[in-house]
Chain A
């Protein structure tokens, strides 16, 4: 589909974000390289981040938010590319559970991402071209190491809390294991200590869809001015189903037909659910980089805290962090059993832990939606932690 070059598209705007984001940016030169789990080293490193609220005088009220697979640092402000509200604008803001009147909230784009932190869509300074597959494979721990560089840069020694859902929850767990003394409290939501075989399988379907697109060009699509829209769109459609639940799909769409009275006996989007998924796919490809999708899904697949630390209780040995785990009843991507495994390991470490399962039929995505009991949990937990930390 040819587009007149003069009119910048959403995709064009998204691509600009990779190097020059609409965010605060910190750049680390060759004097501060990022060692990676793969054995490689990343340099230079750029981290794009947003902050909300104000850091107090003794720098004790900072909360780090960790975003999920396809989200970014724009947690509580309109998105610069899509202009949609931030992904957690129900949770983060003045008077909200993560209250920006009380806390200094930081959210950074993960490395490997495409919204301004160094990733496959960034320009490789060594070649002057987009990294593409020359970008090293990164892990959840690498993402957390990069976040730690940002936190040090901001002059924060201890985070009051690290909070995140899904892949963000994995980062929260990694934070507590990698930097136990820097995390006063942690809220891992809708996540697990390892990516399950089923979840790796879904990710592999998505990656194969991207790589099967002829416009993917072995990852060099950016330098050729192309986007593997079809492949990435199918990947997103398949993944999106895993974020919902059968009940939610039934309630939202049932077998309703899309703007027609009867079946067309074609492969058109007859059903509303088809039309909805196609829209999810096509809007996603405009804002998200296909190679980033490969890299970040890979990072999630590789996540297994027990393997990295010998066992799950060892990952949390002697932890003094206060934990609050949250799962949702209809989340089949990260079911409650995964949260319970973490709770048992934390009990074995005699850690201070709360665990709440929220009743919801909205599936994995429930953590991004209006769930009053979930909000009450986060608010109450942070309130208790603030008392323990002596925060006003």
Chain B
């Protein structure tokens, strides 16, 4: 079954006579980091998506990778929408509700654009590495040159397209840069199996670049980790 939110947005629009309709794939509409994450997850895996929103990534993973997917989401509206679409999602909090899961409960645990909104990111990371054989984390990069420019040149807390909230109403309370996150991986005993930085348009930043380069030009980074 095609799920409504992933339906091509313009499917009902009349096509001009003679134009060949291009099938709009799921992929064309999904978020760039979601596509990258989907690429990292093994087919048929048991997956937990922490902070799953309305289940967009879970649906992508189920439809393209046939995973056994579960989700945790803080907002009740997100949970209800997910369950109404047949996804297994519970209302919960990454800071408090990961403790109940047993070790190695999942093949992949995913934390997509959520770490910066947790109260205790280090403990959350440790829990992720405990309950998942693999962990996929995507983080927005606060070291991106646009961010740096806003602070250095304008003396203002950065506001960007992907992080549009002002400092006083943002949910994001623990920002880090790509290099900071790499440090956290060391501290929490995570082995980086793969890392990809994406630029503001969602394209991978040059693959074989040093960390400082990613730290300057990556808008976000996606890491595939496992316990060391």
Looking at the assembled complex, report how far the CB atom of A384 sits from the nearest CB atom of chain B, in whole angstroms. 3
Residues 72-95 of B at the A interface (beta carbon under 8 Å): 76, 79-80, 82-92
Binding site for A on B (CB under 8 A): 1, 68, 70, 76, 79-80, 82-92, 97, 100-102, 105-106
**In the complex, which residues of chain B have a beta carbon less than 8 angstroms from the beta carbon of A379?**
84
Partner of B88, one of A344, A354, A358, A377: A354
Asked whether A162 is an interface residue with its Cβ less than 8 Å from the other chain, the reply is no
**In the complex, which residues of chain B have a beta carbon less than 8 angstroms from the beta carbon of A356?**
76, 79-80, 83, 91
**In the complex, which residues of chain A have a beta carbon less than 8 angstroms from the beta carbon of B87?**
354, 384
Bound complex: CA A354 to CA B86 (Å): 9
Instruction: Check A357/B97 contact, CB under 8 A, given A377-B80, A377-B84.
Output: no
Closest 4 pairs between A and B when the two form their complex, measured CB to CB: A384-B86, A380-B84, A355-B90, A347-B100
**Residue on A nearest B71 in the bound complex, by CB:** A354
A344 touches B76 (CB 8 A): no
Interface size class of A (residues with CB under 8 A): 20 to 34
A348 touches B83 (CB 8 A): no
Residues 336-392 of A at the B interface (beta carbon under 8 Å): 343-345, 347-350, 352-359, 373, 376-377, 379-381, 383-385, 387
Bound complex: CA A348 to CA B89 (Å): 15
A355 touches B1 (CB 8 A): no
Most-contacted residue by chain B among A349, A350, A353, A387 (CB, 10 A): A350
Bound complex: CA A373 to CA B77 (Å): 10
B89 touches A354 (CB 8 A): yes
**In the complex, which residues of chain A have a beta carbon less than 8 angstroms from the beta carbon of B84?**
373, 376-377, 379-380
**In the complex, which residues of chain B have a beta carbon less than 8 angstroms from the beta carbon of A381?**
83, 86
**Residue on A nearest B85 in the bound complex, by CB:** A380
A352 touches B90 (CB 8 A): no
**In the complex, which residues of chain A have a beta carbon less than 8 angstroms from the beta carbon of B101?**
347-348, 350
B76 touches A357 (CB 8 A): yes
**Residue on A nearest B101 in the bound complex, by CB:** A347
Looking at the assembled complex, report how far the CB atom of B89 sits from the nearest CB atom of chain A, in whole angstroms. 6
Asked whether A324 is an interface residue with its Cβ less than 8 Å from the other chain, the reply is yes
Interface of B, secondary structure class, is mixed
**Residue on A nearest B70 in the bound complex, by CB:** A352
Q: List 16 A-B contacts (CB under 8 A).
A: A343-B90, A345-B100, A347-B97, A348-B102, A352-B70, A352-B88, A353-B90, A354-B83, A356-B83, A356-B91, A357-B76, A358-B80, A359-B76, A373-B80, A380-B86, A384-B87
Bound complex: CA A217 to CA B159 (Å): 77
A383 touches B80 (CB 8 A): no
A354 touches B102 (CB 8 A): no
**In the complex, which residues of chain A have a beta carbon less than 8 angstroms from the beta carbon of B86?**
380-381, 383-385, 387
Q: A343-B92, A348-B100, A355-B91 are in contact. List 6 more A-B contacts (CB 8 A).
A: A347-B97, A348-B101, A352-B88, A353-B70, A380-B85, A384-B86
**In the complex, which residues of chain B have a beta carbon less than 8 angstroms from the beta carbon of A380?**
83-86
**In the complex, which residues of chain B have a beta carbon less than 8 angstroms from the beta carbon of A324?**
83
**In the complex, which residues of chain A have a beta carbon less than 8 angstroms from the beta carbon of B90?**
343, 347, 353-355
Bound complex: CA A355 to CA B74 (Å): 12
Asked whether A322 is an interface residue with its Cβ less than 8 Å from the other chain, the reply is yes
**In the complex, which residues of chain B have a beta carbon less than 8 angstroms from the beta carbon of A373?**
80, 84
**In the complex, which residues of chain A have a beta carbon less than 8 angstroms from the beta carbon of B1?**
383, 387
**In the complex, which residues of chain A have a beta carbon less than 8 angstroms from the beta carbon of B91?**
355-357
**In the complex, which residues of chain B have a beta carbon less than 8 angstroms from the beta carbon of A348?**
100-102
Bound complex: CA A19 to CA B87 (Å): 44
Looking at the assembled complex, report how far the CB atom of A257 sits from the nearest CB atom of chain B, in whole angstroms. 39
Bound complex: CA A385 to CA B87 (Å): 9
Bound complex: CA A345 to CA B83 (Å): 19
**Residue on A nearest B1 in the bound complex, by CB:** A387
Instruction: Check A355/B100 contact, CB under 8 A, given A376-B84, A380-B85, A384-B87.
Output: no
Bound complex: CA A387 to CA B92 (Å): 25
Most-contacted residue by chain B among A347, A359, A381 (CB, 10 A): A347
